[in-house]
């Protein structure tokens, strides 16, 4: 196995339709665009990974186009000829040669793990230390922006036993309008559901003081990234005063961010995202920092498709505790698939397969159909 080499690494942009527009504070998604990464090894085993952003450059520093370009021109050529099974050496080589690019690196690491799992006959979770559960509870984002429609959608999800945790994207509208919208939904759902909000940094600190108080007083369970990641002292103040726990998301752009956030006491919950940490192995380092500091964990998403979702899930099922569950619902937003085995959701949870690697096979015809030309 030590003599197995990486022969090629390719990146393909894929555009998949969604069930509805997905409204965020900074962007409204009309479709989901992902980069599918394929690593071909000298033993004819292929690993697949995914790099996906929310809204491209509207969210962060990488876009699908830049991810593909950097993989094709820089990151991929660095790995051709390297040992396919030595993921540690491969990722260190990338980190030394290229700063940042965590989304691209995450997809590459996922593909290397998938190939290694297939080679060894083990699920990726076992390569990451071993699973302690087989499923993960999954939240659903209510993002229509219409209060009555969001309530009806949540009630339908509860009846189907698909979701009982709901997150609302707020911040784009005036503060009082958003607060009224959230409180009305919580009152309608009552104790049958957990209701949370994600502000995506769109409040200033004065708005956040007001918003966190109203939300906490009205039973909202969690407030995600209410103010700018740059305002670290403000995050500390809000974390100390808010009745509802504050979760850091955009504040964590690398593993080192997790350490400084924990040291400052800037959040009581961390959102874990493989894309923002650089891969499934990297996100577990952030989780270890949080666990050592007594900070609770939440399994986040960049609304990846099935490949990226299962790469995240294989990491998350190895964790001792996910106090705030996960939001690995990305595949449920899509109307089309590019894999032969769609993910299984039932009893409020995503079921994580025990098949070697990520447990997925690409549907070549559908991949070709939805690939960008």
Between CA 22 and CA 118 the distance in angstroms is 35
Q: Predicted confidence band at 28 (pLDDT cuts at 50, 70, 90)?
A: low
Beta bridge partners of 169: 198
The pLDDT confidence band at residue 264, using thresholds 50, 70 and 90, is: very high
Residue 330, both tokens: 């990305």
At 1 the pLDDT is 53
Residues 121-138 have pLDDT tens digits of 999 999 999 999 999 999
CA distances from 207 to 181, 197, 202, 235, 262 (A): 16, 14, 9, 13, 24
Please state the pTM of the whole predicted model. Answer: 0.94
If you search the block for the tokens 């960008």, which residue do you land on? Answer: 372
Q: Where in the chain is the domain with CATH 3.20.20.120?
A: 127-351
Q: Is the pLDDT of residue 30 over 80?
A: no
DSSP letter for each residue of 311-324 = HHHHHHTTSS--TT
Q: Which of 118, 169, 273, 276 is catalytic?
A: 169
CATH 3.30.390.10, the chain: domain bounds: 6-121+363-370
Task: Answer with the residue of higher pLDDT: 30 or 238.
Answer: 238
Could you give the 3-state DSSP secondary structure of residue 219? coil
Active site residue 224: no
**3-state SS, residue 278:** coil
Q: How far apart are CA 138 and CA 300, in angstroms?
A: 10
Closest CA to 290 of 332, 326, 317, 319: 319
Q: Looking at the predicted structure, is the pLDDT value of residue 77 above 90?
A: yes
Q: How far apart are the first and last CA of the chain?
A: 36
The fourth-level CATH superfamily of domain 127-351 is Enolase-like C-terminal domain (3.20.20.120)
- The helix (run of H) or strand (run of E) holding residue 239 is helix 232-241
Average pLDDT score over the chain: 95
Distance between CA 60 and CA 45 in Å, rounded? 33
Q: Is the pLDDT of residue 23 over 70?
A: no
Catalytic residue among 50, 137, 153, 327: 327
pLDDT-based confidence at residue 268 (cuts at 50, 70, 90): very high
Tens digit of each residue's pLDDT (9 = 90 or more) over 89-104 = 999 999 999 999 999 9
Task: Give the span between the Cα atoms of 142 and 151, in whole angstroms.
Answer: 9
Question: Is 169 labeled as catalytic in the residue annotation?
Answer: yes
The CA distance from 34 to 68, in Å, is 10
Alpha carbons 141 and 247: distance in angstroms, whole number: 16
Q: Is the Cβ–Cβ distance between 14 and 36 less than 8 Å?
A: yes
3.40.50.80, 3.40.50.300, 3.40.640.10, 3.30.390.10: CATH of 6-121+363-370: 3.30.390.10
**C-alpha to C-alpha distance for 208 and 97, rounded to whole angstroms:** 40
């Amino acid at each position: 196995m030590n003599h197995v080499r990486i022969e090629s690494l390719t990146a393909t942009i894929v555009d998949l339709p969604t069930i509805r527009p997905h409204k965020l504070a900074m962007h409204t998604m009309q479709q989901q665009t992902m980069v599918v990464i394929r690593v071909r090894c000298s033993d004819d085993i292929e690993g697949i990974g995914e790099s996906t952003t929310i809204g491209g450059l509207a969210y962060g520093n990488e876009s699908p186009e830049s991810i593909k370009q950097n993989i094709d021109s820089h990151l991929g050529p660095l790995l051709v000829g390297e040992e396919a099974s030595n993921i540690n050496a491969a990722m260190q080589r990338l980190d030394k040669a290229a700063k940042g690019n965590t989304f691209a690196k995450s997809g590459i690491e996922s593909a290397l793990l998938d190939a290694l799992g297939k080679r060894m006959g083990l699920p990726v979770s076992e390569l990451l230390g071993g699973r302690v559960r087989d499923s993960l509870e999954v939240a659903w984002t209510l993002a229509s922006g219409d209060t009555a429609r969001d309530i009806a959608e949540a009630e339908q999800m509860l009846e189907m036993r698909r979701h009982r945790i709901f997150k609302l994207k707020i911040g784009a509208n005036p503060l009082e309008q958003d607060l009224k919208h959230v409180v009305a939904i919580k009152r309608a759902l009552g104790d049958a559901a957990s209701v949370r909000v994600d502000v995506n940094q769109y409040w200033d600190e004065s708005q956040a003081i007001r918003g966190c108080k109203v939300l906490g007083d009205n039973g909202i369970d969690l407030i995600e990234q209410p103010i700018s990641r740059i305002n670290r002292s403000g995050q500390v103040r809000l974390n100390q005063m808010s009745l509802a726990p504050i979760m850091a998301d955009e504040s964590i752009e690398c593993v080192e961010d997790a350490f400084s956030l924990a040291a400052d006491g800037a959040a009581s919950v961390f959102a874990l995202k493989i894309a923002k940490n650089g891969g499934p192995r990297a996100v577990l380092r952030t989780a270890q920092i949080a666990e050592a500091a007594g900070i609770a964990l939440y399994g986040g998403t960049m609304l990846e498709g099935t490949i990226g979702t299962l790469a995240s899930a294989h990491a998350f099922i190895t964790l001792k505790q996910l106090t705030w569950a996960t939001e690995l619902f990305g595949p449920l937003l899509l109307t089309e698939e590019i894999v032969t085995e769609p993910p299984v959701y039932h009893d409020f949870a995503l079921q994580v397969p025990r098949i070697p690697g990520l447990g997925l096979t690409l549907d070549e015809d559908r991949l070709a159909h939805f690939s960008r030309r």
